[in-house]
Structure 1
Amino acid sequence: MDSNTFDQVLVVIVIILALILFAWGRWRYDIVATSALLVLAAARIIPTDQVFNGFGNPAVITVAAVMVVSRGMWNAGAADALAAALAGLGDRLLMPVITGVTAFISAFVDDTGTTGIMMPVAIQLARKNEQSPSKVLMPIAFASLLGGCITLIGTPANILVAGFRRQATGEPFGLFDFTPVGLSLTLAGLVFIWLIGWRLVPVRRSKGGKDELFEIADYLTEVAVPKESPFVKKTVSELEKALQEDVLILGIVRGKRRLPVLSRLEPLRAGDVLIVEADANSLKALLETSKFVLAAEKDLAKKFLVSAEIGMVEGVIGAGSQLVGRTLAQMNLRRFYGANVLAVSRQGHRHKGRLSGFRLQSGDVLLFQGGTESLGTVLDRLGCLPLAKRSLRIDKPTRVVTAVLIFSGVVLLPAFGILPVQVAFTAGAVLMVLCGIINARELYENVDWPLIVLLGAFIPVGEAMQSSGITRSIANAFLPVAGQLPHVVSLGVVLAGTLLLSNIINHTAAAMVMAPIAIGIAQGFGASVDPFLMAVAVGVSSSFLTPIGHQANTLVMGPGGYAFGDYWRLGLPLSLLVVGLAPFLIKMFWPF
């Protein structure tokens, strides 16, 4: 085996293993991508002085800057104000308006962020109209994916595809080069959802509110602390450490005072009455260990879970959350964040076992209790999205105007060719900080660093596919068959292959694998690379079949109560629509 063949075989093996690990999900995708990069660097397939060149790629810089600018728009309240205008929607207009607005926002704000903005609004409107939230959550997730393919900044995958076009032709795709195809597909997809697709969405049993969803009151008990208890003068922390069961101390009644327990250092006194959340087995263990006695009272949830100072909010765990893969015991939220997690729901079903050892994953819904003023900040720092509409941040209209002006500037400057996209958006991110719309901490906290590492690590791997000749070999194997068919059919094959791959692995990783292959096929035909790269861009924005291909799908899984197999009901016909229509639209706007 000559050295060139060895290089090709090794690159193929590394990429196949990476795809398997991406789909398995046992290790985070940035770790997998970095490992693939290091293996190819150790084999000298990627030159050692170019191993980390991907992190300086304009596509990576652009993605990070877009995330910061989008956060600025969120902080200023521009998106909230637009979402609030939907508050009066009735039953008939709910589906077309909320999906249409979602698609519009998604064209300019990251599609995952758009889903996070619209999800609490959709839930509230569905409950107001006595509908199950499951009827609208999947459509808004799919609308955000469709809208993301309208502009360069709608999804990180578009920025990445534009970077591959720059490598192939010397010029990247412009900000609105995606619009003719993307807008046409988005309109077609939305019309399908409005007329037919909504009937295919599974209906899950709707609950009325936070306490009903998790039935918290069923798990609350009042216990009195007698003077002979060994835990008199001991702290809440010491009591919880002594117990081997899941028992959460939520409040203390001391005389006529009611004390919410958000500090684990509160000492117990004889005569205190504790409000505890526990199942039957945990409660029995508590009484035996502490020598506490039962004391019955009604309406505990209303008295202790919510007050002027203490509130509850449901939050869904985002894909980049620090909670993913960890347990509540490891996070120790009461100590570090001053908040309690009262319950956890996965795919619409409350977890009935021990909470402390339950390993969390993206899409889980948590019921948080904490200070009303701090809960929003806690959710932000944990990477969770609230399922209740936030209080609107529009009390300072000048911030909204400033943010909109900055955003308009960073969009118009590249559109008129005055500045490259990466420079314009980086300048916009800096201006958002200088104008006080986001602070220095948020500047870094709101960048999806695992995604940035994935991009920076896998871009050289994609280049290795080209330099080792793999893309040329794939094109040569494809051409004898495809050469007998119209180019539009080949375009459909590339699009369908990308679409299927993006439903199995992270859609951005799918773009990095398929873009070099698309370029190789186009060059083998002697055709322009543009239509084939556009097919890749459309394919990665069409992850409708599973909840794992795109974070927007994952976000709505828990709140909607969807099962893994629910997505294909609406996703399959929508995917067939895209595969059938997109090649002809691409051919129309991007000739071969």
Structure 2
Amino acid sequence: MDPQQIVFLLILGSALVLLVSEWIRLDLTAMLIVIALAASGLLSPTEALSGFSSEPAILLVSMFVLSGGLNHTGLAGRLGGWIGRLSGDRVWRAVLVIMPSVALMAAFSHHLMVSALMLPVLLTLSRSHKLPAPRLLMPMALAASLGTTVTVIAAPAFLVARDQLERAGAATLGIFSIAPLGIALCLIGTLYVLVCGRWLLPQREGAKAEEDRFQLNRYFTELLVLEQSAQAGKAMTAFCKEHSERFTVVDWLRDGRSLARPWADKPLASGDLLLVHAAPDELAALDREQGLALHAVVQYGDELAEEDGRTAQRNERLVQAVIAPDSEFAGRSISEIDFLGRYGLVVVGLWRKHGFMYRELSKLELRPGDVVVMWGGQDAAQRLADHGSFLLLLPFEGRARAKPGKAWLAALIMGASVASAATELLPVSIAFLAGASTMVLSGCLSLKQAYESIEARLFVFIAGAIPLGLAMQRSGTANLFADWLSPLVAHWEVTWVLLALFAAAALLTQILSDTATTILLAPIAIGMSDPLDISAAATVISVAMGSVAAFITPIGHHGNLLVYEPGNYRFVDFVRVGTPLTVMLGIAVACIAPLLWPA
């Protein structure tokens, strides 16, 4: 063992300690890896920093922005709702709909975003159809992870595998090169849950606390039909049908009077006031809707801007506050309190746990526990935060979505990106970078939202850790490990070698991320491929599959942790369900990979 290899092993050992212990953040660990590799002379400064301009890093950023576009335009939400409606009232039917649908979504998006999107949908489905949440959430999380095995772009581990193969001069992977194997794994996972789920999945109910967490989803507010609005003249029936997924109209006021029902074919007019219940995303977007605006903002917006001496567009924002149990505001109406005069804020919405609100917002009497949504400047919000009548003050959770019609534009952009990469019309990284740029230019999401969609910690970690694999090859450490291991498995069948690589990755990924596992094991797998006369692609993909499709414990995948508490799971539940599935998936990978990538 030469000095360079000793230095590399010291850096690798230190990195593993930091990654496993998480004494410091993963992205900071990656930066220390870059510094150590450059300072030790194992890599030049340019090589140590090459991960930031590498194709995996660019693809990862592009995929985050594309996924953000699908989310912000509401397309992902619509797909989630559609899946929920098709699931029916039987567990087997719900699983049959949920798992393939979620896997398909995860194949072209970030699996955590898909899991987070589907979690409230499935909790609602569980409550409304009396289906045990634990029998829905774990299959959903499994499907989200399995879906990432269908395309090279869906999981960072496959982006790293693709990069490692290209650096080694082996086969280049197209975005659908792993699709036959990934589809097989998705089918195995779905059949496994359908056949064995009734015995392996827990029968207990989901966590009750989660029901309340996801009930904060409809706010009461007032919507004004603006002058020369395109909505004016529309029959109420047509208007409600057009906006049924955005908000629900509970009353219709004209000249201060509530119009008698039935509304049916009565036309809207400029100046009409609609009392609506809207989801957080829609409430954040209502003042941007063409021809519609939040009534309080229209009524007091100019006055508020004059008081602050600033323009609302630049400085005003939505905040929400909870009325304290002993608040002086309890039992008083919003108009009596005069939020504008006292704090420089305008009340635009209200959430209440029990009861349905039909009166004008200004006439509603506040109760302890009410969540009041207000619009105003940052200084005014700070003044309100110091007032004892409010339990807490926090930014409003809703995010403004793009205008109606942008959802299908986002789908078209995503489809064009995939088609351009799949047909090799453009290099994969350029195709998806162009798609991400088009998402912003087309207005599917703002530049700020695009930056917010990027998981910076993961980007920095991948960009900083990629040179570790390069240093492993340059120092000869990868070949050293390969030379040690190759004689041990020299007489094994190809299937057993690939199964061993899958198993090694599956175990290591329980303590490291799938990306880190692939970065560490892929160079060794490549080094073993020539002596054993196995395709490098088969060995590396077996490693990547093992790092992504291992469900032995709940800590192996963040998606499992996301559903752990809502599903009221125990650690042993994942071991009982995931271990047999992981073994089956490993056997499938070991048998199919040599057929797809023969030596």
Q: Could you list the runs of 5+ residues in structure 2 that have no partner in the other structure? A: 217-321, 344-365, 375-380
Q: Is the 8 A contact 1:201 1:570 kept in 2?
A: yes
Q: Given residue 127 of structure 2, which amino acid in structure 1 is its aligned partner?
A: R
Q: Distance in 2 between matches of 1:552 and 1:114?
A: 9
Where does structure 1 differ by over 6 angstroms across 4 or more consecutive aligned residues? Answer: 213-216, 336-340, 368-371
Aligned match of 2:53: 56
Query: What secondary structure sits across from 2:566 in the alignment?
Result: helix
For the pair 1:444 / 2:463, whether they are aligned, the reply is no
Of 348, 363, 368, the match for 1:304: 368
For the pair 1:22 / 2:19, whether they are aligned, the reply is yes
Q: Which moved more, 1:7-16 or 1:447-456?
A: 7-16
Q: Is the 8 A contact 1:200 1:570 kept in 2?
A: yes
Q: Distance in 2 between matches of 1:124 and 1:369?
A: 27
Offset at residue 376 of structure 1 (A): 2.1
Offset at residue 442 of structure 1 (A): 1.2
Offset at residue 108 of structure 1 (A): 1.1
Aligned match of 1:588: 595
Q: Is the 8 A contact 2:146 2:185 kept in 1?
A: yes
Of 572, 582, 585, the match for 1:578: 585
Cα-to-partner distance string for 1:335-370 (whole Å, 9 max, x where unaligned): 599899xxxxxxxxxxxxxxx9xxxxxxxxxxx987
Q: Which moved more, 1:35-44 or 1:482-491?
A: 35-44
Q: Distance in 2 between matches of 1:575 and 1:465?
A: 28
TM-aligned CA distance change 1:409 to 1:560, over 3 Å: same
Offset at residue 86 of structure 1 (A): 2.9
TM-aligned CA distance change 1:155 to 1:99, over 3 Å: same
Q: Is the 8 A contact 1:339 1:370 kept in 2?
A: no
Q: Distance in 1 between matches of 2:393 and 2:172?
A: 48
Q: Given residue 63 of structure 1, which amino acid in structure 2 is its aligned partner?
A: L
Within-5 A mapping of 1:33-432: 33-88=30-85, 89-92=88-91, 93-169=93-169, 172-206=172-206, 249=324, 252-254=327-329, 256-257=331-332, 303-306=367-370, 374-377=396-399, 396=404, 398-432=405-439
Q: Distance in 2 between matches of 1:339 and 1:52?
A: 46
Q: Distance in 2 between matches of 1:118 and 1:421?
A: 29
Q: Given residue 544 of structure 1, which amino acid in structure 2 is its aligned partner?
A: F
- Identical columns (%): 27
Aligned match of 1:299: none
Cα-to-partner distance string for 1:464-499 (whole Å, 9 max, x where unaligned): 101111111111111112111112211111111011
Q: Is the 8 A contact 1:253 1:259 kept in 2?
A: no
TM-aligned CA distance change 1:202 to 1:399, over 3 Å: same
TM-aligned CA distance change 1:479 to 1:55, over 3 Å: same
Q: Given residue 376 of structure 1, which amino acid in structure 2 is its aligned partner?
A: G
TM-aligned CA distance change 1:16 to 1:197, over 3 Å: farther
Of 560, 563, 570, the match for 1:556: 563
Q: Is the 8 A contact 1:305 1:369 kept in 2?
A: no
Q: Distance in 1 between matches of 2:41 and 2:213?
A: 55
Q: Distance in 2 between matches of 1:255 and 1:492?
A: 65
TM-aligned CA distance change 1:480 to 1:72, over 3 Å: same
TM-aligned CA distance change 1:428 to 1:499, over 3 Å: same
Aligned match of 2:470: 463
Cα-to-partner distance string for 1:23-59 (whole Å, 9 max, x where unaligned): 2223221111221221222211122332211111111
Offset at residue 135 of structure 1 (A): 2.2
Q: Distance in 2 between matches of 1:94 and 1:369?
A: 39
Offset at residue 404 of structure 1 (A): 1.3
TM-aligned CA distance change 1:369 to 1:209, over 3 Å: farther
Query: What secondary structure sits across from 2:168 in the alignment?
Result: helix
Aligned match of 2:527: 520
Cα-to-partner distance string for 1:181-217 (whole Å, 9 max, x where unaligned): 111111111110111035323345435576767999x
Q: Given residue 49 of structure 2, which amino acid in structure 1 is its aligned partner?
A: F
Q: Could you list the runs of 5+ residues in structure 1 that have no partner in the other structure? A: 217-246, 268-301, 311-333, 341-355, 357-367, 381-392
Aligned match of 1:567: 574
Q: Distance in 2 between matches of 1:214 and 1:189?
A: 28
Q: Given residue 63 of structure 2, which amino acid in structure 1 is its aligned partner?
A: V
Q: Is the 8 A contact 1:149 1:537 kept in 2?
A: no
TM-aligned CA distance change 1:394 to 1:96, over 3 Å: farther
TM-aligned CA distance change 1:370 to 1:49, over 3 Å: closer
* TM-score normalized with structure 1 length: 0.71
Aligned match of 1:546: 553
Q: Is the 8 A contact 2:535 2:594 kept in 1?
A: no
Offset at residue 522 of structure 1 (A): 0.8
Q: Distance in 2 between matches of 1:147 and 1:21?
A: 30
* Bigger radius of gyration among the two: 2
Q: Distance in 1 between matches of 2:386 and 2:475?
A: 53
Q: Is the 8 A contact 1:495 1:539 kept in 2?
A: yes
Q: Distance in 1 between matches of 2:384 and 2:524?
A: 47
TM-aligned CA distance change 1:464 to 1:307, over 3 Å: closer
Cα-to-partner distance string for 1:506-551 (whole Å, 9 max, x where unaligned): 1111111111111111133243211111102211211312233322
User: What is the RMSD of the two structures over their aligned residues, measured on CA atoms?
Assistant: 3.3
Aligned match of 2:311: none
Offset at residue 500 of structure 1 (A): 1.0
Q: Is the 8 A contact 1:252 1:259 kept in 2?
A: no
Q: Distance in 2 between matches of 1:542 and 1:375?
A: 33
Query: What secondary structure sits across from 1:26 in the alignment?
Result: coil
Query: What secondary structure sits across from 1:115 in the alignment?
Result: helix
Q: Distance in 1 between matches of 2:47 and 2:384?
A: 42
TM-aligned CA distance change 1:68 to 1:182, over 3 Å: same
Q: Is the 8 A contact 1:141 1:552 kept in 2?
A: yes
Q: Given residue 470 of structure 1, which amino acid in structure 2 is its aligned partner?
A: T
Q: Distance in 2 between matches of 1:403 and 1:29?
A: 32
Q: Is the 8 A contact 2:170 2:536 kept in 1?
A: no
Q: Distance in 2 between matches of 1:105 and 1:130?
A: 26
TM-aligned CA distance change 1:335 to 1:552, over 3 Å: farther
Q: Distance in 2 between matches of 1:98 and 1:255?
A: 44
Q: Distance in 1 between matches of 2:75 and 2:127?
A: 24
TM-aligned CA distance change 1:394 to 1:569, over 3 Å: farther
Q: Is the 8 A contact 1:339 1:369 kept in 2?
A: no
TM-aligned CA distance change 1:211 to 1:7, over 3 Å: same
Q: Distance in 1 between matches of 2:458 and 2:582?
A: 25
Q: Distance in 2 between matches of 1:510 and 1:111?
A: 18
